[in-house]
């Protein structure tokens, strides 16, 4: 993994080519600047290399040496609020495939073409998981909680109808390059407070790009059609 310096906003969020896909520039003047990538004093007290998701304030911190952190703005779906605790990044995927849960396909038949039976939606600019996805596990248990990109830059800093934790595509690419597998992750609504673990409920990640008011909850299980 790498730890490149941050550039100016036009450089960080400019148009770029990535693995054969052309990411468009982000209109940073239309986003509250507190949600743009920046180095800040670390408010978490965690050890360097830890990711901390602050669900109250819509921030994700990557803790660095010297009492600093890189802060990213995030958009949170209701799935993003349904789970808190400690995990690790078990897998990292570039331009991941997205497979909607069968329950979601039943509610939204237009998604049938992307069902597990039909092989899912391949990675691409319209894929709701965006340019990268980080899959969080507790031991050998999939939390079904994802940190992922999104083409919907306007949703950053907001609570949205669906998904887990979404970042601007340029930001998830940056985070992906900075963290190795097994990176510790803490998801909490109260920075500095003890982490509340919810072992018997897990949020099933649903489409970050399709508006929906529904959220799926269930016991921990592996979605083999989502992890590869």
Of the candidates 69, 87, 134, 164, the residue annotated as catalytic is: 164
Of the candidates 148, 174, 205, 227, the residue annotated as catalytic is: 148
Find the length of the chain. Answer: 228
Burial of residue 161, with CB atoms counted within 10 A of its CB: 0-12 exposed, 13-18 middle, 19 or more buried: middle
- What are 164's two structure tokens? 């887990």
Whether the Cβ atoms of residue 150 and residue 163 lie closer than 8 Å to each other: yes
| Active-site residue, 164 included | yes
| Active-site residue, 81 included | no
Whether the Cβ atoms of residue 104 and residue 216 lie closer than 8 Å to each other: yes
Whether the Cβ atoms of residue 65 and residue 179 lie closer than 8 Å to each other: no
- What are 198's two structure tokens? 């919810």
Q: Which residues are catalytic?
A: 148, 164
């Amino acid at each position: 993994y790498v730890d490149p310096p941050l550039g100016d906003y036009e450089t960080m969020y400019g148009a770029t080519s990535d693995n054969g896909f052309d990411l468009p520039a982000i209109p940073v003047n239309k986003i509250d600047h507190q949600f743009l990538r920046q180095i800040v004093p670390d408010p978490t007290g965690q050890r360097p290399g830890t990711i901390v998701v602050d669900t109250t304030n819509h921030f994700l911190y990557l803790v660095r040496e010297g009492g600093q952190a890189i802060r990213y703005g995030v958009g949170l779906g209701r799935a993003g609020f349904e789970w808190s605790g400690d995990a690790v990044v078990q897998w990292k995927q570039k331009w991941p495939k997205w497979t909607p849960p069968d329950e979601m396909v039943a509610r939204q038949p237009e998604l049938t073409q992307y069902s597990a039976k039909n092989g899912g939606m391949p990675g691409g600019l319209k894929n709701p998981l965006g340019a990268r996805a980080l899959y969080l596990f507790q031991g050998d248990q999939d939390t079904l909680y994802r940190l992922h990109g999104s083409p919907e830059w306007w949703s950053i800093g907001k609570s949205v109808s669906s998904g887990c934790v979404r970042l601007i595509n340029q930001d998830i690419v940056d985070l992906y390059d900075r963290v190795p597998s097994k990176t510790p992750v803490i998801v909490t609504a109260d920075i500095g407070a003890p982490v509340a673990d919810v072992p018997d409920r897990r949020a099933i990640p649903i489409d970050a790009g399709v508006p929906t008011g529904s959220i799926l909850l269930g016991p921990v299980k592996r979605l083999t059609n989502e992890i590869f």
